[in-house]
Structure 1
Amino acid sequence: MGGRLHGGPSRSQVRAAEGPEVLAVGRRDRFFIVITTFNRAGYLSDLLDSIAVLDPAPEALVVVDNASTDTTAAVIGAAQDRLGALPRPIALHHHALASNVGGAGGFSAGVERALAEGAQWMWLMDDDVTAVPGAIGAFGPWMDKYDALVGRRYDTSGEPFFWQHNFSSFLGLHLPVRGDVFAHSNEFSTNVGCFEGMLVHRDAVASVGLPDPRFFITWDDAIYGWLIALKRPVMYVNEFVLHKVRAQRSVDLLIRHLNDSSDLSRFYVMRNRGLVAQYLRANGCYNPVGFALGTALTAAKELVRLVFVEKTLHGTGKLWAGWRASRPILADKQWQPMPELDL
């Protein structure tokens, strides 16, 4: 296996004019992968296998186990032994949670743990993907310039997965961008994130705080990318770094694909509109008329998903329940965003 990703000698030792020996950290050093998993031991095993052959390799992994009840713990234990026995060992930190706090809570805990372990870069991903062998090296040139990156993904059939959006603060909604965003450049400036492969530097995390666990699932990554983009560039780059491995039903809407969902997601996609509104308010971007329109468009998209992808109307009650649950959040005068971090 090749060396770790670095711009010069990794962790070269330097001596201060007066004082103890310290370690110099290069721009590309201390690369961690942060995975959130829940009851998908089979998918997780495949992902960890793909990480074992990454070249360059990460320094460490943090696997957040959202109180799984399947064989996830055994899979993580076996991977710890395997990764630790590599010629260049990769540390695997098993971060077990007492309860399922959703993807949002998992990534919040995972980023916090990675920072505590000394991470400089954190590549965030769900458990139902696998890594492209040269992915970390592919990120390298952009890591020298930016603090927040999203790479491209292959879908389950090996074709490019559509992901190119911009967040409209007027609507409180991320909208697909038409056309080939890489027609004239290998980088596309966006203002949303995606926790299925977003790479963030500790400086970006410090500026906006940890991912907000109050989202539980959905909207958390979009808002996190938007918050970062208010302070520094977020770049979607023309490098394929992940494979999606979980097959989903979908419908082609020409501009984008719409995948199947779940009642849990339907509830939270509407409930979390309250959190989206609060973040807009906190940053002076909330327009009640535009936001109401964005909420209506969100509900309409979910109805289209039900009818054309899942071919049912069962689930509309979850949309209504989620919208009702969003109202107290939106009306909360004491609400505060996640605090910045002093790193």
Structure 2
Amino acid sequence: MNKEVAVVLVTFNRLALLKQSISKILEQTTPVEKIFIINNKSTDGTEVYLKLYEDDDRFKIINLKENVGGAGGFSAGLKEAYSYGPYDFYWIMDDDTFPESDSLTNLLTVKTQAGVLASNVLWRDTDEVSIMNIPNPDNKWTAKSLDDLYRISSSSFVSMLISNKAIEICGLPIKEFFIWGDDVEYSKRIIKKLDGYFVPKSIVRHQTKTNTGVDIINEPNKGRINRYFYAERNELYIAKRDGLKATIKNELSFLSLIIKICIRKSNFKLKKLKTIIKGHFAGWFFKPKVEQVTQKEK
């Protein structure tokens, strides 16, 4: 029996990449049922371009009235896709994700039941792993699972396949996360109830400018520093939810980060310190609610 897959693609001011990403999705050896494109208030002509797909039944275009970040975009997209379905699976990705033609096919060949399946994310056209998209292993990582599958505890929204059951049980991503950590929180929430696996044969290519992770210490762009507020706040929220041991570990990591910013050579030290301290403080009071899914009446 063929599985119906809906793609949830979030875009913001990267029209050239979006066009290529759409092409790559349409070239899949296993066709997708529908592509939900969430335009996060782009100002680069994306909304005008997407009018080309308004009468194409393969697409559903959602133009948001404000930029709600990746977290808000994926939450809105999954909510819309579920209400139109439900579908068997929901394939999540950013607009700078280029899946290989057999990427979805290799995800769907997985026979075991799972709430989350993560692709092998490489950086651009190289054999390098995309550092920011490496799945976190669980305690059984060293034990080979089924057909080259590896158990994970969380993964990235850059090519994550989510089962319909996972959405019905666990709800939607937390839109208040805005950016950073939303995919970790959501995949961890699902994997605590259902299995999660890394699928090495499912390859996608992440078109980031540099192959680096989230690193405020070496962040050279002053305009990007404010984003680390969300990283710090969201990380503490996840740690608190995971329990006392995780919270203590997070506190030690936070103190270590402050020391590293102070002693290492870096620009904008004061702004960096203010940002993470503000984010950490906010994390103690951050208590967003998980939104559950409902279907539209047919």
- TM bin, normalised by shorter chain, reads 0.7 to 0.9
Alignment partner for residue 325 of structure 1, among 267, 279, 282? 279
**SS, match of residue 61 in structure 2:** strand
> Against the structure 1 CA distance between its residues 203 and 184, is the aligned structure 2 distance closer, same or farther, given a 3 Å change threshold?
closer
Q: Which residue pairs with 2:268 in the alignment?
A: 314
Quick one: distance in 2 between partners of 1:340 and 1:42?
34
Matched-pair identity in %? 22
Residue in 1 that maps onto 2:170: 208
Is the CA contact 2:8–2:38 (under 8 Å) kept in the aligned structure 1? yes
Distance of aligned partners of 1:95 and 1:342 in 2 relative to their CA distance in 1, 3 Å threshold: closer
Per-residue deviation at 1:100? 0.5
Matched residues in 2 for 1:260 and 1:210: separation?
Answer: 33
Once the 2 structures are TM-superposed, how far is the Cα of residue 144 of structure 1 from its aligned partner?
5.1
For 1:1-343, what aligned pairs fall within 5 Å after superposition?
8=1, 10=2, 28=3, 30-79=4-53, 84=56, 91-118=58-85, 119-142=87-110, 145-161=113-129, 162=131, 163-166=134-137, 186-248=148-210, 250=212, 262-280=224-242, 284=243, 288-296=247-255, 303=261, 312-314=266-268, 317-331=271-285, 335=287, 337-341=289-293
Q: Does the CA-based 8 Å contact 2:168-2:293 persist in structure 1?
A: yes
In the aligned structure 1, how far is the partner of 2:97 from the partner of 2:220? 17
Greater RCO between the two (CA within 8 Å, min separation 6)? 2
Q: Partners of 1:109 and 1:123 in 2: how far apart?
A: 14
Checking the alignment, whether the CA contact within 8 Å between 1:55 and 1:137 is kept in structure 2 is yes
Runs of 4+ in 1 over 6 A off after TM superposition: 180-184, 258-261
What whole-Å deviation, never above 9, does each CA across 1:200-234 have from its counterpart, x for those lacking one?
01111122210001110001111111111111111
Q: CA deviation at 1:117?
A: 1.0
Aligned partners of 2:220 and 2:77: how far apart in 1? 27
Cα contact 2:21–2:95 (8 A) shared by 1? yes
1:159–1:319 CA distance, 2 compared to 1 (3 A): farther
Give me the whole-angstrom Cα distance separating, in 1, the residues matched to 2:138 and 2:271. 27
* CA distance, structure 2, for counterparts of residue 65 and residue 104 of structure 1: 13
Q: In 1, distance between residues paired with 2:137 and 2:254?
A: 16
Asked if structure 2 preserves the Cα contact closer than 8 Å seen for 1:43 and 1:127, the reply is yes
2:137–2:154 CA contact under 8 A, matched in 1: yes
8 Å Cα contact 1:64/1:110 also seen in 2:
yes
Contact kept? 2:236, 2:250, Cα under 8 Å:
no
Separation in structure 2 between the aligned mates of residue 198 and residue 70 of structure 1, nearest angstrom:
27
SS in 1 for 2:37: strand
How many equivalent residue pairs?
283
Asked whether the equivalents of residues 99 and 203 of structure 2 are also in contact (C-alpha less than 8 Å), the reply is yes
CA displacement at 1:72 relative to structure 2? 0.7
Give yes or no for contact 2:89–2:162 (8 Å, CA) kept in 1.
Answer: yes
Does the 8 Å contact 2:53/2:61 carry over to 1?
Answer: no
Q: Is the 8 A contact 1:154 1:240 kept in 2?
A: no
SS of residue in 1 equivalent to 2:42: coil
Q: Is the 8 A contact 2:100 2:204 kept in 1?
A: yes
Secondary structure of 2:154's match? coil
Change (3 A) 1:232 1:184: closer
- Judging changes above 3 Å, is the alpha-carbon distance between structure 1 residues 150 and 317 closer, same or farther for their aligned structure 2 residues? same
Q: TM-score, normalised by structure 2?
A: 0.82
Provide the aligned C-alpha RMSD in A: 3.2
Secondary structure at the residue paired with 1:191? strand
CA contact (8 A) 1:193 1:221 kept: yes
TM-score by length of 1: 0.72
